Amino acid sequence: MKKRMKTMLSLTMAASMVVPMIAAGPVAAEEAEGKVLNIEVWNNEFCNRIAAHYPGFEANDPEDSTKGGKIGDVEVNFIVTNNQDNAYQTNLDEALLAQADAAADDKIDIFLVEADYALKYTNADVDVAMPLEDLGITADDLAKQYKYTQDVVTDANGVIRGSSWQACSAGLIFNRAIAKEVLGTDDLEEVQAAVADWDAFNETAAKMKDAGYNMIATVNDTFRVYQNNMSAPWVQDGKVVIDDKMKQWAEDSKALVDAGETTTNDMWSDAWSAGFQAPGSVFCYFGPAWLINFSMGNAPATGEDDGSVAYQGGWGLVNGPEGFYWGGTWICAAQGTDNPTLVKDIILTMTTDNDVMKEIAVDDSDCVNNKEVLEELATDEEFGNDVLGGQNPYQMLADGAEMIDMSNLTEYDQACVEEFQQAMKNYFDGNATYDEAVAQFQKGVGEKHPELTF
């Protein structure tokens, strides 16, 4: 019997306006620690991870981890602010700007960030995320992590200011039944050959259209794949530059839309996720382990048939045209925390401990940021993912994590990504020329970051 994975400030203001929260340097171990641990989050994911995997955590409500709990005699308070309309960052900015004068029990101790805006908070001049070395966390402690996950939260001086339990390398998730019907097989090597590069991908899209299927649910499904493979950053010496890879995405996407092989629907819309339901009308999606396990439907092991392709074990995973990553959550220690010892232990336990990393991988189906654990799982012939029909995805995901390059990351990525996709939708829908869409993109970014040129 196979073992199965369970699936079921604003700081954009000038850095000089932000006062460092505490003096630089390691925190003395003998300093008195606080009795309240405040953690800023945007959903319940990290709350669930702490509740399930941090030793000694006692939840206030076993059914709702966001209600916090206790670690020893320290009260754990999760401050949950939804990401929608930038609300999480707005709330976090206000809290961090007030940190120096906040009462001990009100100080932020831990906050989470995503890659698109991580540099905003790990900027050395802003200095709101503590260097991990100031907590006593060493390079040896982080040695089993993938380099790209450290690059995301490394400041211009080479100092690491955060840590993640996730390695979100990703691939092409395909509907096995549709592959058998249209390609004649769901063999992983043969499916990969059909999407090995963008020319092959577009040729397969035409075959899918002829058979009555969309190749992808929306043009936005491929955006991050192209973006992750840009040759240069969005912003160079203060100037916004549209990389050739982004121009290729626009050209390829326009062709797919005009041919009726995909749509311009928003991701996370009902129209986008309709392909998750069996038998499925969309050949493939692009995503990491978390998309497979938390977004595409119930796993067979749950016993709750939600009518999804996932419940039938009907998806497969291949590399696709190019490697990429999507998502991830980084834990940052807030400057001024009055719980540095506990914060250090949480970061080490939740992002470096092999036993905890393996628990998260097995119990939560996360692709964890630990080379040793992924290697162990990848070589375990008895290990498989129900949603993927028993396929073990970890070797592919581990190899992908090694190849991710974060050298093009800038603090302006979130604005550029959002505005480019929004502007190009007008182009794809026939409401603007490409040049008009570019002008809209520049206007949108310029309003958010007037300091940039074009």
- Which phi and psi (to 5°) does residue 385 adopt? -110, 120
Phi-psi map region of 389: left, alpha, beta (phi>0 left; psi -120 to 50 alpha)? left
- Residue 34's identity, in one-letter code, is G
- Output the pLDDT for position 3: 40
- 120 contacts 162 by C-beta, under 8 angstroms: no
106/36 Cα distance (integer angstroms):
8
Q: Is the pLDDT of residue 28 over 70?
A: no
Percent of the chain with pLDDT over 90: 82
Q: Is the pLDDT of residue 1 over 60?
A: no
pLDDT tens digit sequence for 155-184: 999 999 999 999 999 999 999 999 999 999
User: Which range is least confidently modeled, 202-216, 362-376, 438-452?
Assistant: 362-376
pLDDT tens digit sequence for 111-163: 999 988 999 999 999 999 999 999 999 999 999 999 999 999 999 999 999 99
Buried b (16+ CB within 10 A) or exposed e, 46-64: bbebbbebbeebebeeeee
Pick the closest to residue 60 from 49, 71, 376 (CA basis): 71
Average pLDDT, the chain: 91
- 197 contacts 204 by C-beta, under 8 angstroms: no
pLDDT tens digit sequence for 286-345: 999 889 988 999 989 888 999 999 999 999 999 999 999 998 999 999 999 999 999 999
> What does the DSSP assignment read for 31-70?
S---SEEEEEESSSHHHHHHHHHSTTEEES-TT-GGG-EE
What pLDDT band is residue 420 in, cutting at 50, 70 and 90? Answer: very high
Global pTM?
Answer: 0.84
Q: Specify the higher pLDDT residue, 91 or 25.
A: 91
- Output the pLDDT for position 18: 37
Q: Is the pLDDT of residue 4 over 80?
A: no
- Output the pLDDT for position 186: 98
What pLDDT band is residue 31 in, cutting at 50, 70 and 90? Answer: low
CATH number for domain 169-325, candidates 3.40.190.10, 2.60.40.10, 3.30.160.160, 1.10.10.60: 3.40.190.10
Neighbours of 213 (CB within 10 A): 20
pLDDT tens digit sequence for 67-104: 999 999 999 999 999 988 889 999 999 999 999 999 99
390/313 Cα distance (integer angstroms):
8
Neighbours of 294 (CB within 10 A): 14
- Quote the CATH superfamily of domain 3-167+327-386: Periplasmic binding protein-like II (3.40.190.10)
Q: Which helix (H) or strand (E) holds 236?
A: strand 235-236
- Do 169-325 and 3-167+327-386 fall under one CATH topology? yes
The domain ranges of the chain are 3-167+327-386, 169-325
Q: Report the Cα 342 to chain-centroid distance in Å.
A: 25
